[in-house]
């Protein structure tokens, strides 16, 4: 609603809808978001092809084969995006709880029988494909929290400790604990996003504060539960105050040091597409540190463009789509799915530049991978679906 003062009508108001569009559904989704996602996917294809050259040799395959595999996953993710942009987003809310319960079972299975990669079990092999249950758990949890918030608003029990906060807390804590067993960084992200959606939904700030305290205690316990996690934190803290060649020779902070070298080599315009040298030294350059490869090959300009694309998605998803959404659940879904998508990208970039410790979180639609890209496509599809709601624009003159 646009308010415009008028001295001519000082004691009355006039509603003018003569040139305004009628409220309702449109067949057109937000083009800025769609174009930005496609641009990220193109950047990802180029970066993955370059960064997998050395890794492909170790796996007795070729960079072309890995590129084709990644391209196939991109097409699947885009198909998922298109599908969820067409169907009613209410289905996501209605099926969130059973999907969340299923993800809990899969998380238990992956803890016992999953494939161990870099010292952690995060993936299951299903019919020849790797599947990461934590991605399903994250999306399902956030959607179910929104569904619960909507129901509690209808029953006017949203601020009740026993009827609202406790049931939500049960889902959040169980999900965070199951994910955190093998993937602390993802668990921390899930907890932060859950608190965000609860805060936006109107849950009591006092109750959320208590949950923050529990999260800090639980997070500290998870960090100190294994030597590998403690080493990551200590290495991160050490590299802030002590960056030297001695640490590189000793192997401490090796990943971060190689990422710094890649970024430094890129300078303003980069060394050129496919000319990365650090891809031979960085562990997982096609995933965890793909942003460093982009910075090396395309320089500050290319690295900045990636962040601009994520920022554009953030602004369109939150400021435009969520703000104009019809209904609480639609607004919350658009906001939290956009935040989830963008925050994963920001965190991946922050890790490569040394702002955050090594987390292992992928960069949506850029990093090599299947499960994360699949659910990223799903989230963006839901946001695009919500963007089709066109509110009535009304000018009111007082």
Distance CA 142, CA 153 (A): 17
Residue-wise pLDDT tens digits, 235-247 = 666 655 555 555 5
Residue 144 pLDDT = 96
User: pTM of the prediction?
Assistant: 0.83
Residue 225 pLDDT = 72
Residue 4 pLDDT = 35
Residue-wise pLDDT tens digits, 370-381 = 788 999 999 999
Residue 351 pLDDT > 50:
yes
| pLDDT mean over 48-72 | 78
Cβ atoms of 247 and 253 closer than 8 Å:
yes
Lowest mean pLDDT among 159-168, 190-199, 387-396: 387-396
Residue 260 pLDDT = 84
Residue 147 pLDDT = 95
Domain count, the chain: 1
Residue-wise pLDDT tens digits, 86-129 = 998 999 999 999 999 999 999 998 888 766 665 556 667 665 56
Distance CA 251, CA 283 (A): 13
- 258 falls in which pLDDT band (50, 70, 90)? confident
Lowest mean pLDDT among 18-32, 45-59, 108-122, 193-207: 18-32
Mean pLDDT of the chain: 81
Q: What is the residue range of 83's domain?
A: 2-397
Residue 190 pLDDT > 70:
yes
Residue 365 pLDDT = 93
Contacts of the segment 85-88: beta carbons below 8 A, 24+ positions apart: 85/29, 85/381, 85/382, 85/384, 85/385, 85/388, 86/385, 87/385, 88/385
Distance CA 54, CA 179 (A): 31
Structure tokens at 258: 């190689």
Residue 21 pLDDT > 80:
no
């Amino acid at each position: 609603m646009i308010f415009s003062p008028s001295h001519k009508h000082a004691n009355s108001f006039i509603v003018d809808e003569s040139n305004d569009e009628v409220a309702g559904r449109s067949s057109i989704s937000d083009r800025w978001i769609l174009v930005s996602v496609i641009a990220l996917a193109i950047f990802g294809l180029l970066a993955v092809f370059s960064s997998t050259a050395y890794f492909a040799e170790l796996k007795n395959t070729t960079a072309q084969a890995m590129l084709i595999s990644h391209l196939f996953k991109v097409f699947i993710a885009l198909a998922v995006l298109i599908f969820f942009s067409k169907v009613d987003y209410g289905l996501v809310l209605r099926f969130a709880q059973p999907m969340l319960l299923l993800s809990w079972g899969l998380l238990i299975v992956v803890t016992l029988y999953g494939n161990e990669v870099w010292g952690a079990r995060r993936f299951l092999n299903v019919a020849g494909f790797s599947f990461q249950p934590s991605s399903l758990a994250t999306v399902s949890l956030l959607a179910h929290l929104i569904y619960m918030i909507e129901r509690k608003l209808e029953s006017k029990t949203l601020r009740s400790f026993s009827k609202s906060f406790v049931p939500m807390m049960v889902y959040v804590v169980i999900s965070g604990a199951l994910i955190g067993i093998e993937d602390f960084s993802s668990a921390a992200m899930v907890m932060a996003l859950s608190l965000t959606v609860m805060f936006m939904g109107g849950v009591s700030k006092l109750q959320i504060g208590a949950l923050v305290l529990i999260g800090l205690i639980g997070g500290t316990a998870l960090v100190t539960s294994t030597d590998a996690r403690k080493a990551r934190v200590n290495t991160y803290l050490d590299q802030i105050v002590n960056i030297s060649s001695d640490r590189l020779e000793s192997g401490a902070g090796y990943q971060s040091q190689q990422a710094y070298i890649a970024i430094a080599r890129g300078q303003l315009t980069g060394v050129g597409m496919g000319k990365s040298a650090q891809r031979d030294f960085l562990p997982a350059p096609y995933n965890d540190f793909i942003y460093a490869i982009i910075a090396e090959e395309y320089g500050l300009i290319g690295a900045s463009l990636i962040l601009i694309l994520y920022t554009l998605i953030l602004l369109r998803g939150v400021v435009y789509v969520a703000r104009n959404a019809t209904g609480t659940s639609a607004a919350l879904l658009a906001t939290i799915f956009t935040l989830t998508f963008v925050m994963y990208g920001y965190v991946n970039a922050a890790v490569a530049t040394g702002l955050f410790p090594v987390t292992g979180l992928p960069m949506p639609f850029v990093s090599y991978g299947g499960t994360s890209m699949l659910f990223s496509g799903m989230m963006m599809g839901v946001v695009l679906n919500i963007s089709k709601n066109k509110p009535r624009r009304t000018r009111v003159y007082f």
